[in-house]
Amino acid sequence: MTKKEKAAYIIQSLESCYPEVSVPLDHKDPYTLLIAVLLSAQCTDVRVNQITPLLFKRADNPYDMIKLSVEEIAEIIRPCGLSPMKSKGIFGLSHILIDKYNGEVPADFEALESLPAVGHKTASVVMSQAFGIPAFPVDTHIHRLLTRWGITNGKSVEQTEKDAKSLFPENIWNKLHIQIILYGREYSPARNPKKDKDFITAAIGTVKAKSELQ
């Protein structure tokens, strides 16, 4: 099966499993999405969704956020891990949004990636899900699955993103990346993947990936 045929199979399969999708991180606007995605680094979405209501009750916009100290932010978000770095990032980017963008989150990749603690993946999620601009954020689930399915060689997330964008139609990127994440969580866990559950890997996976199915 060629990569184009695999891509078509993936699209059809995931559309059947997840015809409607929503962002797994609870948010109400671009700013709260940006903060939630930043917090999700090396943390589960479930945990983030438990913590953000506590944070957003105190500050759900940059003007209120800078009224908190870095230490106060860190204490609230501590369960998400990496709180010293994340709290400084949240405080710093909130100041920049006020000083440079009138308190608004810019719909621009370069501007987003220049913010403290905001990397390419975070910027891609915000661009795609807050502003509807086509992007293909690659998290650990997507990198792992597209490697297992032979869509990419798995050498880097940058290569995975490039390969995904070349094979999948741009008009479905924003939905497809969420569908892949949902599939990974439900059908294809990193540990102990099952033949009878992970049907996409069983059908189109690499020889190595198929051999790992139990």
Q: Using only C-alpha atoms, what is the Rg of the chain?
A: 18
| Amino acid identity, position 190 | A
Angle at 191 between CA 186 and CA 193, to 5 degrees: 60
- Residue 134: count of CB within 10 angstroms of its CB: 14
Q: Is 44 within 8 Å of 73 (Cβ atoms)?
A: no
Take residue 124 and report the two structure tokens written for it.
Answer: 């891609």
User: Annotated catalytic, 139?
Assistant: yes
* Per annotation, catalytic residue among 60, 139, 163, 198: 139
**DSSP code, position 154:** -
> Does the annotation mark 208 as catalytic?
no
Q: Which of 60, 121, 163, 175 is catalytic?
A: 121
State the catalytic residues: 121, 139
